[in-house]
Amino acid sequence: MKVTVVGAGAVGASCAEYIAMKDFASEVVLVDIKEGFAEGKAMDLMQTASLNGFDTKITGSTNDYTKTANSDVAVITSGIPRKPGMTREELISTNAGIVKTVAENLIKESPNVIIIVVSNPMDTMTYLAHKATGLPKNRIIGMGGALDSARFKYRLAEATEAPISDIDGMVIGGHSDTGMIPLTRLATRNSVPVSQFISEERMQEVKEATKVGGATLTKLLGTSAWYAPGAAVAAMVHAIATDAHKMFPCSCFLEGEYGLNDICIGVPALIGANGVEKIVEIELSATEKEELTNSAEAVSKTNGLL
Ligand SMILES: NC(=O)C1=CN([C@@H]2O[C@H](COP(=O)(O)OP(=O)(O)OC[C@H]3O[C@@H](n4cnc5c(N)ncnc54)[C@H](O)[C@@H]3O)[C@@H](O)[C@H]2O)C=CC1
Ligand SMILES: O=C([O-])CC(=O)C(=O)O
């Protein structure tokens, strides 16, 4: 499998590293607009190959998309990250132009590619990539829910003092500080509802900490996070490579699912060789439905700024 990662910055390089470490791709091409940057990152990563035991070939390219030709999967991480105090939505004016151009360049060289959008505001950038490329909806996926769910599990494990491997949980909705919906009702510790281990008040704290997970890290780091985002993308690319039909909450183009239309937003989906193999419609409580409706309204409002 050939994978292109556009943007060789923090998230792009982390994503390339995790993909290489899993050793399932024949080639990863890093692309960046900064002269020599992707080539440098690729060379540095390749010099870890004998130490970390992978055979994936990583190459770099300064904005030359012919090097990306016939990619099976392309990940878009190009664009600016937020600074402390900013929302993801504030990045739209810079990132929309970048994501649109990059998506158009990618499909010229790789007409059969599956695109995973990471750049923020991610749900709106996924919608934009969908509109700009006209690719079938199964081949444009936004990465947000996989990361948000990993952060939810981290917070649940912390609150229950359980090993993370005991914990399961999922976050749906928009990938924003206010739009995420950690499904606390469905979170489990080894099949037992987490609500049996912690108070309702503690559960609310976990929910709120999960929603601002990206903002918390941005405040600590001075820029947004990259390890967990890179790992979340690598997990999704691996599911495509292995046709795993693994369930990830991710930003999918909806046509009536969950009562929503003409929007990309986080819902559970089975990810396999064709990208989104199936959107899974789980039964939501009345409160969860209301939260999803509100979250979708906010995403649509941001889409209106395109
Ligand atoms: N969806 C999610 O869960 C997450 C999204 N993000 C988003 O990912 C994006 C990247 O974040 P970082 O890697 O931390 O930023 P970064 O600044 O470290 O890297 C971005 C890279 O994109 C490159 N770039 C800019 N315009 C380009 C173009 N037209 N073509 C090719 N490359 C171009 C830059 O030169 C830079 O190297 C941000 O928008 C951030 O908000 C970050 C973490 C998680
Ligand atoms: O917080 C940000 O701006 C980057 C991001 O999407 C995340 O880490 O969840």
Report ipTM for this prediction: 0.99
DSSP state of 152: H
Average pLDDT over residues 143-155: 98
Q: Of 15, 77, 82, 219, which is best to mutate to test ligand 2, by the most ligand atoms within 8 angstroms of its C-beta? A: 82
- DSSP 8-class letter at 111: T
| Domain assignments of the chain as residue spans, ordered by start | 2-144, 145-304
50 C-alpha to ligand 2 centroid (Å) = 32
**Which ligand is located closest to the Cα atom of residue 65?**
1
Is 269 labelled as part of a ligand binding site? no
Query: What percent of the chain lies above the pLDDT cut of 70?
Result: 100
Ligand 2 in contact with 174 (CB < 6 A)? no
Distances (CA, A) of 272 to 98, 123, 245, 290: 27, 20, 5, 30
Residue 19, both tokens: 């993909």
Residue 80 C-alpha from the chain's centroid? 16
How far is Cα 294 from Cα 230, in angstroms, rounded to an integer? 28
The reply to whether ligand 2 has any atom less than 6 angstroms from the CB of 183 is no
Asked whether 214 lines ligand 2 (CB < 6 A), one says yes
For residue 188, what pLDDT band results from cuts at 50, 70 and 90?
A: very high
Residue 225 CA: nearest ligand 2 atom is 8
pLDDT tens-digit readout, 47-87: 999 999 999 999 999 999 999 999 999 999 999 999 999 99
Ligand 2 centroid to 303 CA: how many Å? 18
Average pLDDT, the chain: 98
Residue to substitute in 224, 226, 299 for testing ligand 2 pocket (most ligand atoms within 8 angstroms of CB): 224
The answer to whether 148 and 266 have CB atoms below 8 angstroms apart is yes
Residues of the chain with pLDDT > 90, as a percent, come to 100
State both tokens at 85. 């105090």
Encode 249-296 in three state secondary structure.
Answer: EEEEEEECHHHCEEEEEEEEEEEECCEEEEECCCCCCHHHHHHHHHHH
Question: Six-digit token pair at 2?
Answer: 């050939």
| Ligand 1, residues at Cβ distance < 6 Å | 6-12, 31-34, 37, 77-82, 91, 95, 98, 101-102, 118-120, 122, 143-144, 147, 175, 223-226, 229
Give the pLDDT of residue 38.
98
pLDDT at 303: 98
175 is an active site residue: yes
Nearest CA to ligand 2 atom 1: 214
Q: Which atom of ligand 1 is nearest to the CA of 223?
A: 14
pLDDT at 32: 99
Report yes or no: 133 and 115 within 8 Å, Cβ to Cβ.
yes
CATH of the domain spanning 2-144: 3.40.50.720
CA distance linking residue 145 with residue 171, whole number of Å: 6
Q: Which two tokens stand for residue 220?
A: 């600590």
117 annotated as a binding-site residue: no
Q: Which atom of ligand 2 is nearest to the CA of 213?
A: 9
DSSP letters along 196-263, please? GTS-HHHHHHHHHHHHTHHHHHHHHHSS---HHHHHHHHHHHHHHHTT--EEEEEEEEEESGGG-EEE
Q: What is the pLDDT of residues 9-62, one digit of tens each?
A: 999 999 999 999 999 999 999 999 999 999 999 999 999 999 999 999 999 999
Longest dimension (CA), the chain: 55
Q: Which ligand is nearest to the CA of 120?
A: 1
CATH number of 145-304: 3.90.110.10
